[in-house]
Amino acid sequence: MTFKIFWPRLPGRIRRGLSAAVPVLLAAGLLFSAVADAQAAVRLRKNIDDLTPQELAAYEHAIDMMRKKSLANKNDREGYLWQAWVHNCNGVPVPDSGAAVPIVADPAKNGWFSDSDAFCPPMKSPPAGFHTEHPGMCEHGKDLFLPWHRAEFFYYEQALRAADPEGTSGPSTKDVTVPYWNFIQIPSGVRFPKAFENKTSPLFYPGRTEGPPTAEDKQRTSPYLLAYLIRDLRWPQFGGYRVGGPGNYGAFESMIHNYMHDAYIGGVLKRPSTAGLDPLFFSYHAFIDYILEEWIDSHAAAEITSPGQYLRGQQSLAFANPPGFTPGSGLQTMGQVKNYLDITALGYGFDPGGRPQFFTEAELTRLTQAYDAENKQGFGVAPESFFTYLLSGDDGAGYQSGANPSVTQSVSVTLPLPAEGSVAAVELVRKPLHQGYSYQADVYLHPASVAADLKDTAFRSRYLATSVNYWELSGAGHDHGEMSSTRLTASVQQPVASIQAGPLRKEAWMLTVGITPSGTGARPDDFEQPRLTAIPAH
């Protein structure tokens, strides 16, 4: 008789360890106790659509109680407002006496905080009798992006569980975890999980983008694209480069994360300093943390750079710190990157709910092989570029965005020769501005003999090399680069390698970039000319 062992509720690292030990455990009669111990050792984050009514009620109660803590004292580090500030509020005035600073709920915001109370105050010297504390500074456009948000959630979940662990005014919160929103799946509500669209729930926050997902939204949440980024990209290209390195953004952040904040979700998520005010932020990023764990399972945590970097954030001293934590010097931190690479040691895992949450490597291989079979002539000859295919799958609709950019730049380029340890990349630099803005940049490579017609779906679909989004990070209350230039690097290694191996390798080539701003109009002289170059892969 053959026994099939199914591990639906265990993190991948536990599954692999137990699978290797199955023969010994069976012989010793210890298998089922080992499974029980492994499950007891971790709390599991579930898809929010899989929560039982009791689990959803406990999560909503935790949010509500954290909100009430903040209403009683906006500087309570276990309250919701402080935890939202951890995402990007670099300084708040706190009374030297430790006295509570109560605030009033705003009925127009479903009982949440008024803008004047909730928004991060501009950085300045505190008034007499106050000192400055520093809730946190989110990391973006670098290799700290994913580890920093994991650290934020390690403490945020402790705040949830501390909200009402005894269940004195509602369901016990002692075992609450952050449910994730798998945004690559069809939403259970109109646009979001239905739990977030219930206007009577503390999970509802006004101002989000409304209406069903558009064709562009669906492309930006493509499971094909996400699988490719997870399975095929090494750490710098996926998760970001070290500060001062040859690149900056990882592909996941610039291709999916930034668009989701600015366009798909919108509302307070348009700005880093207000994003955490909406509870949807936490379920959105809980899935991003699941994506990081999928990448680690597909590659290796040892690839993640800057392991000794301290992660900025002031948390309650009552909270437990991660294993191996050292305080560092200066401002309080949440520990180092290396403290957050093993989620089993951190005490949590992800529950797929008995169904796939991602395309597997085998499924991605089948997709790429199907593309290669249909498009043997390579980039510039095939009707759809590989990137267009990742966005749209095999629906044949072509690239649904980028038809009406505010700024279009075209330059002649020499394709970089393939070199060991390097990748072809486009570099976009926006000049220093008084008022920054988020924008989408669609990058096309096309023969000089072919005019760039961005209103033509066939042109966009055939010559699209990549599409990235810059999320504006400057503004009052934090120091992500206000009044400074912004640099965005994006890999175009796949199309360049395809051209160099294909029939058009001897053609003269052009690089055309279409820039579409979010809100404020962009001007041609806001940007330097784009560059096509080769950068080190690490």
Q: Are 442 and 467 in contact (CB under 8 A)?
A: yes
The confidence band for 95, taking pLDDT boundaries of 50, 70 and 90, is very high
Question: What is the per-residue pLDDT for 436?
Answer: 82
Model confidence over 401-428: pLDDT tens digits? 999 999 999 999 999 887 888 999 999 9
Question: What is the per-residue pLDDT for 521?
Answer: 74
**Least confident piece of the model among 8-22, 110-124, 285-299, 311-325:** 8-22
Is pLDDT at 445 greater than 60 in this prediction? Answer: yes
Mean pLDDT of 2-29: 36
> Between these two residues, 203 and 434, which has the higher pLDDT value?
203
Question: What is the per-residue pLDDT for 446?
Answer: 98
Query: What 3-state class would DSSP assign to 461?
Result: helix
CATH number of 375-536: 2.60.120
Give me the phi and psi of 303, to 5 degrees please: -75, -20
Question: What is the per-residue pLDDT for 9?
Answer: 35
**Three-state helix/strand/coil letters over 145-199:** HHHHHHHHHHHHHHHHHCCCCCCCCCCCCCCCCCCECCCCCCCCCCCCCHHHHCC
The confidence band for 18, taking pLDDT boundaries of 50, 70 and 90, is very low
Question: What is the per-residue pLDDT for 33?
Answer: 39
Mean pLDDT of 499-514: 95
- Determine the Cα–Cα distance for residues 252 and 149; give it in Å rounded to an integer: 14
Mean pLDDT of the chain: 89
Is pLDDT at 1 greater than 80 in this prediction? Answer: no
Dihedral (CA of 466, 534, 406, 456) sign: negative
Domain ranges of the chain: 1-41, 48-351, 375-536
Any idea which fold 48-351 has? di-copper center containing domain from catechol oxidase (1.10.1280)
The confidence band for 307, taking pLDDT boundaries of 50, 70 and 90, is very high
Is pLDDT at 3 greater than 70 in this prediction? Answer: no
Question: What is the per-residue pLDDT for 15?
Answer: 39
Question: How many angstroms separate the Cα of 60 from the Cα of each of 83, 173, 190, 219, 373?
Answer: 16, 9, 20, 31, 49
Question: What is the per-residue pLDDT for 122?
Answer: 79
Question: What is the per-residue pLDDT for 204?
Answer: 97
Mean pLDDT of 373-396: 89
- The model's pTM is 0.91
Strands 43-46 and 348-351: parallel
Model confidence over 36-79: pLDDT tens digits? 344 447 999 999 999 999 999 999 999 999 999 999 999 999 99
- Other C-beta atoms closer than 10 Å to the C-beta of 122 total 10
Question: What is the per-residue pLDDT for 475?
Answer: 52
**Least confident piece of the model among 197-201, 257-261, 483-487, 528-532:** 483-487
Question: How many angstroms separate the Cα of 359 from the Cα of each of 82, 214, 230?
Answer: 36, 22, 10
Is pLDDT at 453 greater than 60 in this prediction? Answer: yes
Question: What is the per-residue pLDDT for 474?
Answer: 63
Model confidence over 226-245: pLDDT tens digits? 999 999 999 999 999 999 88
**Least confident piece of the model among 171-180, 207-216, 273-282, 363-372:** 363-372
- Other C-beta atoms closer than 10 Å to the C-beta of 363 total 15
Dihedral (CA of 499, 504, 508, 511) sign: negative
Question: What is the per-residue pLDDT for 512?
Answer: 98
**Least confident piece of the model among 5-19, 63-77, 105-119:** 5-19
Is pLDDT at 7 greater than 60 in this prediction? Answer: no
Structure tokens at 97: 């006496």
- Determine the Cα–Cα distance for residues 302 and 59; give it in Å rounded to an integer: 34
Question: What is the per-residue pLDDT for 105?
Answer: 95
Mean pLDDT of 117-132: 89
